[in-house]
Amino acid sequence: MRLFPAVVVAAVAVVATTATPAHACSCAMPDPRSLLAQTEGAFVGRLVARRDLGDGRATFTFRVERRIKGTIGSTVDVESASNGAACGLETTVGDRIGLFLEREAGRWKSSLCWQVSPEDLLAAAQPLPPPNGGGPTTLLVAGRFGPARLLALDARGRTLAYGRGAGSVLHISVCPGRRRAVEVVYLTGGVRVAVRALPSLRIVRQQTVAAPPGTSVTQLRCEAADGSRLLLFHATSDRPESALLERLTRTRSAVLWRGSAIGATLTERTAFVLGGARGTRLLAVDTQTRAARTVGPIPSPSNGLVAAPDGSELAGLTYPAGAERPVLFRVRIDPFAVATRETPESGDLAFADRRRLVLLADGGRRGLVFGPTLSVVSTFGWSAYRSTVAASTAYGVDAGGHLQAAPLPSGPERVLRLLPGPSVSAIVPVR
């Protein structure tokens, strides 16, 4: 439902080059498997000496206990900033640490952002465990899992397959028939769609996406069983007038709608467009005929809308000016009607079925199940951040990378497993 780049917690390491940084060092929580795949060197060792170089730099000499990656001898000199505020290594003589390295001008360099515990680095050096799942694919989980960026999981959270590849995935769509899935992948050189077979996650086709200037892909839907026909919605909050809906095939792309909007929700036959600079004018674009009509006014959605399985209703959250609590709203398409109510929680929304709407609170307080009139049907404990609903079960991943599950309508929540990396960007049901 939402895009949370900040939740993708693979570390971005910046080796400081100035003596007096303007700001204190800030690092996202590193994912050792991801860093091991991306960096040029890594080792576990003890600091034996430190020498200041001046100009805010220092050389740290380590006795290497175990070389993990790169051409490293029994000792290694590592250059870094001289203090932690400038992202320099924070370690004293005798300390045992794990460290990732980059090679620059013939010297090894590192930073505080690439310093981890020895145990985490040694665990990251182990190969991904072999798949141990069984039965149909229930969930696809995107993130950074060492050499993999996608997991196929069964209903018990066990791994069916790894989807290997570089880049970051923020959008996944399961194709009709559930034998293919498509991912939008953000790479250094641009944006690409990749079609994968289910459940093996083998890539069967890749294609570059030419996004309009100043926009990004905010929604994806696979229209054809083989993944050969896709719907992509491009938008940005900075330039809502540049939004467009396109159909992408193997050989061409066609614009189905263009106008001012902040986002869209794509269903089987209709793209529900959040028109205007605040997304308060709901439009319906028929993806077959390209005919567009105004459905009606809606509250300004904070994180987009989710659709009921049959596309007859939409739901979202809004934050009215001056209100102490978010407002949950439910939109009936035909005849058009909007129902609202205050809710004590904010988080991910998902329809369990046509009648029941589930709100899974961010970061761990509770889940709430609402009926057709937005009355609370049941509540249950919930501790995950990124959540969805599949086969009458709520699934989510907490900040530590634990996959959680709670049977609807009332739980209880339980931990299914620890994923092979905490960097989760999307979790979608296969249905």
CATH number at residue 397: 2.40.128.630
Which of 70, 89, 124 is where one domain is finished?
Answer: 124
Extract the tokens encoding 273: 């467009």
pLDDT of residue 28: 66
CA distance 145 to 168: 11
pLDDT of residue 421: 77
Quote the strand ranges of 188-252, DSSP E.
190-197, 203-209, 216-222, 229-235, 243-249
The CATH number linked to 101 is: 2.40.50.120
pLDDT tens by residue, 196-249? 999 999 999 999 998 777 789 999 999 999 999 999 999 987 888 999 999 999
Report yes or no on 163 lying in a domain: no
pLDDT of residue 364: 63
Mean pLDDT in the chain? 90
224 three-class SS: coil
Extract the tokens encoding 349: 């929304």
Report yes or no on 40 lying in a domain: yes
Report yes or no on 238 lying in a domain: no
Report yes or no on 173 lying in a domain: no
pLDDT tens by residue, 125-179? 888 899 999 999 999 999 988 889 999 999 999 999 999 998 889 899 999 999 9
Residue 29: band (very low, low, confident or very high) from pLDDT cuts 50, 70, 90: low
Give residue 75's domain range. 5-124
pLDDT of residue 196: 98
Report yes or no on 120 lying in a domain: yes
User: 313: which strand partners?
Assistant: 332
Report yes or no on 249 lying in a domain: no
Half-sphere exposure of 157 (CA within 13 A, CB side): 18
pLDDT of residue 110: 97
Extract the tokens encoding 421: 């990396």
pLDDT of residue 406: 97
Residue range 252-265: average pLDDT? 95
Percent of the chain with pLDDT over 90: 74
Number of structural domains, the chain? 2
Report yes or no on 420 lying in a domain: yes
pLDDT tens by residue, 324-341? 899 999 999 999 999 999
pLDDT of residue 13: 36
Torsion region of 303: left, alpha or beta (phi above 0 gives left; psi -120 to 50 gives alpha): alpha
Residue 307 clears pLDDT 90, i.e. is over it: yes
Which of 87, 106, 124 is where one domain is finished?
Answer: 124
Which of 89, 106, 124 is where one domain is finished?
Answer: 124
Report yes or no on 377 lying in a domain: yes
Which pTM was predicted? Answer: 0.80
pLDDT of residue 221: 98
